[in-house]
């Protein structure tokens, strides 16, 4: 049983929780204490630490106690979902050992419709989470909040700067789409940027997302797995001076993105990686997790693919095309229809409607076809 690999929450944290106010998260989250393992029957969200940092630039000890203390000191919102803390996955003898346990654990939790929040550890663990979807009979949409694309080179496939190459190269290839939110051009070669375009992936520069974080909402709405590299946050906000980041998201922006990720009915796993054990960063991580859970508790459970009759339909003619939009009267969110082709794999059927923004509809009315529609249509017919 994969849960047997999990180490309980440390005595240090358990002792800290005992002295907290009864209304705090620490007194409401069900903890893996060693003597008791949480009952997953009613769980909706599971916190899991991974104590493996071998994919980082410099392998160092992963200490998640400070993150847990900060998170458990917070007060919950008006939440109804049950949260469990399953403890930590220890560092395996080899990286592959850690990957195996992470993948198996993610698969088990997602099958139980429990959203795992994986706290790393280095970002190459994203590959292990992705592998957890292998037996779930679906394609995977991965979104990375990151300043870099992390393609790397063949000889560095086990590092946090190359996990995306590993996902693309290794079989089975379940990746349908990759989106990057917050890339900084000077950290990525032109070759990598061209490859993103060639593969019809989506990328959004830091500047445009920082000005309007809501533009990322449709991206998360179409994502299964969200991976956050904490080095995409300004060092002034995160306190991470080990890898100094003068430009990046500030605390308010990154928490807004986390909330959008939580709001997505489709996001089934969320990972935070490359923590460098600073107290300031622990405070921010705790709040990022809080906002993700806050978003989760306000999910609207809208699935227009299953029943489009409950949505408003808009048809926009552009030359010889007809773009079909759907709008939710409940949340006022928008989707655009992507045409099917006879050679499309059955696993892609749920991508027939692509989340979009109201602005995409307005641009279509001005005879401008949305870029994401073009990319998705070409990908479907590839």
- pLDDT computed for residue 342 by the predictor: 41
Q: What is the mean pLDDT of each run of 10 residues along the chain (382 residues)?
A: 94 96 96 94 97 80 93 96 97 95 97 97 95 91 96 70 91 94 96 93 96 96 97 90 88 98 97 91 97 97 86 94 94 89 47 88 94 81 54
- pLDDT computed for residue 277 by the predictor: 79
- pLDDT computed for residue 57 by the predictor: 65
State what percent of residues in the chain have pLDDT above 70: 93
- pLDDT computed for residue 381 by the predictor: 56
Distance CA(153)–CA(171), nearest Å, equals 17
pLDDT tens digits for range 42-71: 999 999 999 999 988 666 778 899 999 999
- pLDDT computed for residue 1 by the predictor: 83
Give the torsion through C-alpha atoms of 1, 261, 302, 362, to 10 deg: -150
Q: How far is CA 204 from CA 143, 144, 170, 265, 271, in A?
A: 11, 11, 26, 22, 19
CB neighbour burial string for 220-231, b if at least 16 within 10 angstroms, e if fewer: bbbbbbbbbbbb
Q: Tokens 């991206």 — which residue?
A: 219
Q: How far is CA 382 from CA 2, 124, 212, 219, 362, in A?
A: 37, 28, 32, 21, 28
Residue 296 makes CB contacts below 8 A (sequence gap 6+) with 44, 45, 81, 115, 262, 263
Distance CA(322)–CA(369), nearest Å, equals 10
Q: For the chain, give me the number of helices (H) and strands (E)?
A: 13, 13
């Amino acid at each position: 049983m994969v849960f047997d690999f999990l180490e309980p929450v440390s005595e240090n944290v358990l002792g800290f929780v005992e002295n907290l106010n009864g209304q705090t998260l620490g007194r409401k989250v069900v903890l893996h204490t060693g003597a008791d393992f949480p009952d997953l029957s009613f769980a909706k969200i599971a916190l899991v630490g991974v104590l493996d940092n071998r994919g980082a630039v410099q392998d160092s000890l992963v200490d998640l106690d400070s993150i847990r203390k900060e998170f458990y000191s917070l007060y919950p919102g008006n939440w109804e979902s049950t949260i469990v803390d399953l403890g930590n996955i220890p560092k395996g003898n080899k990286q592959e050992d850690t990957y195996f346990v992470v993948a198996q654990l993610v698969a088990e939790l997602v099958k139980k419709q429990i959203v795992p929040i994986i706290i790393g550890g280095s970002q190459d663990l994203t590959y292990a989470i992705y592998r957890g979807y292998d037996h779930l009979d679906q394609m995977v949409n991965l979104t990375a909040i990151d300043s870099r694309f992390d393609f790397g080179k063949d000889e560095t496939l086990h590092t946090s700067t190359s996990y995306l190459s590993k996902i693309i190269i290794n079989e089975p290839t379940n990746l349908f789409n990759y989106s990057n939110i917050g890339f900084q051009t000077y950290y990525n070669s032109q070759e990598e940027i061209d490859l993103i375009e060639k593969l019809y992936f989506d990328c959004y520069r830091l500047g445009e997302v920082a000005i309007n974080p809501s533009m990322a909402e449709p991206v998360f709405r179409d994502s299964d797995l969200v991976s956050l590299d904490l080095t995409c946050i300004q060092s002034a906000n995160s306190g991470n001076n080990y890898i100094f980041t003068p430009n990046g998201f500030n605390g308010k922006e990154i928490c807004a993105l986390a909330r959008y990720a939580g709001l997505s009915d489709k996001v089934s796993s969320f990972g935070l990686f490359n923590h460098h054990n600073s107290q300031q960063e622990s405070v921010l991580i705790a709040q990022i997790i809080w906002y993700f859970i806050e978003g989760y508790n306000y999910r609207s459970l809208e699935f227009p693919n299953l029943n489009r009759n409950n949505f408003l339909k808009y048809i926009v003619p552009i030359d010889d095309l007809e773009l079909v939009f759907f709008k939710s009267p409940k949340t006022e969110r928008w989707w655009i229809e992507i045409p099917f082709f006879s050679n499309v794999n059955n696993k892609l059927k749920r991508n027939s409607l692509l989340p979009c923004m109201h602005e995409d509809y307005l641009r279509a009315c001005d005879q401008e076809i949305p870029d994401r529609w073009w990319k998705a249509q070409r990908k479907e017919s590839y």
